[in-house]
A and B are shown apart, each in its own frame.
Chain A
Amino acid sequence: MSYYGNILTLVQATPVQQQQVATVLTAHNCVYQQVDQTFYLETRSIAHTQQVAREVEGLGVPFAFFHNRVSKGSFCYPVGLPDDVREKIHQILFVDPA
């Protein structure tokens, strides 16, 4: 099984819409970390990623979705976030649980 670190950024989403996205992610068993309107989420295959993206798309909220296979050659540079949030984002984007 492969793991992918993804970044989902909503555009001008209401709190209700953000909650709907969180519900979708939970329903698909995604590990995720929300920072404002951005969700850092882990998916387990390309097909799994497709399902999540399509379901979020069905909510009618504008968004950008960045999909990336877990890689040791990338980095994320969050500034001004609590340490536990930074650690969770790092875990999601770069650490293969396998």
Chain B
Amino acid sequence: MRALIVCMILAPVLVYPQKNFDGFRQIYPVTDDPYIGLRTSYVPSETILFEASPTVRYSFSNNIMDGLMEDKPHMRAWYISFRPHLRMYTDNSLPVKTPSYRIFFGTQHMFRFTNDRFLTVALESGHYSNGQAGCAFNENIADGTPACDSVYRLINDHSDLSHMLNRSSGNFSTNLTELIFNYRINQLDDDMRPRRVHSIRAGFVLYHDNFLGVLPFGGYFEADIDLYGRIRYQLGYEYIHSFDSGTRLSVAENLELIQGAHPRVNPWRSDLRITYYAWKNIPEFGVFLSYLAGHDNYNFRFVDSGHQLMGGITWSIFPPVALKSGNP
């Protein structure tokens, strides 16, 4: 199974390098859109100045845009995805603390059904870390040392990890694979663009030790995976309404459930987001407001739990393009 996943991901990379390196006309149905914004903090000891997720994807092959216009039943994309996640805190010198770096090899396959419905399967596998070298629960000890091991041995089911966490240099590292299914029900306008969309998303993220499931680097420490939890289930729904003025409104609710994390970790996370794309001539660009509840999603800070408000700007990677040619 692991070898199959690796072959699926690497085959087009080896066979079609840069065949369609047309980075400005590529769309992806399953995506976390890049954003930058202000948000409140989970814990009183830290105040967040702003947060950004400047996601970029570089395709080796992507025929989704062309395939939609040509009424193809199956479209696909093969790509590398960089999904950093940065927070700047209002500490002295305004540091970005323990930024998340995520890099994936990925593929998305979009299948066309009747009545303008689409199923997309997205598989991404890669590495996730925060580039730090300190012990996760003591900032005066290096990660991987016997002293750090002894700190981990002090952790029991009742330990308050949020209180113990080394927030300035604590190491977080794992390899991971993400499998997402997305089903979109579209009502089209006269230009074959979606006027109303119901989008359902379900899947999971699996943390594993070997890179791409087979290469022995970049993985987690055994003591850490018992805290992280191996599987994060995702379930989401989004409704998009396009107005005659060319603007559109999106309301989305996304849930995440961690399986196998430390007992003091809140397994749930809810993200309720309203996004308004207010400019007809820049349909990708929107402003959003989000209410978050449950665990944090910023590398090792998943041990934090609470409520957050966030507002900012975002760019849609799947703007309302024509979903079929309209050939009579």
- Interface hits, B288-328 → A, CB 8 Å: 322, 325-326, 328
Interface of A is mostly: helix
- Interface hit among A26-34, A40-48, A76-84, A86-94: A40-48
Which chain B positions have C-beta within 8 A of A45? 189-191
Binary flags per residue of B188-227, CB closer than 8 Å to A gives 1, else 0: 0111100000000000000000000000000000000000
Q: How far is the CA of A45 from the CA of B191 in the complex (A)?
A: 5
Of listed B190, B192, B326, B328, residue having the most chain A CB within 10 A: B328
Count of interface residues, chain A, beta-carbon cutoff 8 Å: 11
Of listed A2, A46, A47, A50, residue having the most chain B CB within 10 A: A46
Q: How far is the CA of A57 from the CA of B189 in the complex (A)?
A: 23
Q: How far is the CA of A53 from the CA of B192 in the complex (A)?
A: 16
Among A47, A53, A54, A67, point to the contact of B190 (Cβ < 8 A): A47
Q: How far is the CA of A97 from the CA of B189 in the complex (A)?
A: 20
- Closest-CB distance, A71 to chain B (whole angstroms): 13
Q: How far is the CA of A89 from the CA of B322 in the complex (A)?
A: 26
Which chain A positions have C-beta within 8 A of B192? 46-47
Count of interface residues, chain B, beta-carbon cutoff 8 Å: 8
A54 touches B191 (CB 8 A): no
Which chain A positions have C-beta within 8 A of B191? 2, 45-47
Closest to B69 in A: A69
- Interface hits, B4-53 → A, CB 8 Å: none
- Interface hits, A36-78 → B, CB 8 Å: 45-50, 53-54, 57, 67
Binary flags per residue of B35-76, CB closer than 8 Å to A gives 1, else 0: 000000000000000000000000000000000000000000
Q: How far is the CA of A2 from the CA of B191 in the complex (A)?
A: 7
Q: How far is the CA of A38 from the CA of B325 in the complex (A)?
A: 23
Q: How far is the CA of A16 from the CA of B264 in the complex (A)?
A: 83
B190 touches A48 (CB 8 A): yes
- Closest-CB distance, A16 to chain B (whole angstroms): 23
Which chain B positions have C-beta within 8 A of A54? 328
Q: How far is the CA of A50 from the CA of B328 in the complex (A)?
A: 5
Q: How far is the CA of A4 from the CA of B325 in the complex (A)?
A: 13
A57 touches B328 (CB 8 A): yes
Closest to A44 in B: B190
Which chain B positions have C-beta within 8 A of A53? 328
- Interface hits, B165-188 → A, CB 8 Å: none
23 A-B residue pairs with Cβ-Cβ distance under 8 Å, sorted by A, are A2-B191, A45-B189, A45-B190, A45-B191, A46-B190, A46-B191, A46-B192, A46-B322, A46-B325, A46-B326, A47-B190, A47-B191, A47-B192, A47-B326, A48-B190, A49-B326, A49-B328, A50-B326, A50-B328, A53-B328, A54-B328, A57-B328, A67-B326
**Interface residue ranges, B against A (CB under 8 Å):** 189-192, 322, 325-326, 328
Complex A-B, nearest 5 residue pairs according to Cβ-Cβ distance, in ascending order = A46-B326, A45-B190, A47-B190, A53-B328, A50-B328
| New A-B contacts (5) at CB < 8 Å, excluding given A45-B189, A47-B191, A54-B328 | A46-B190, A48-B190, A50-B328, A53-B328, A67-B326
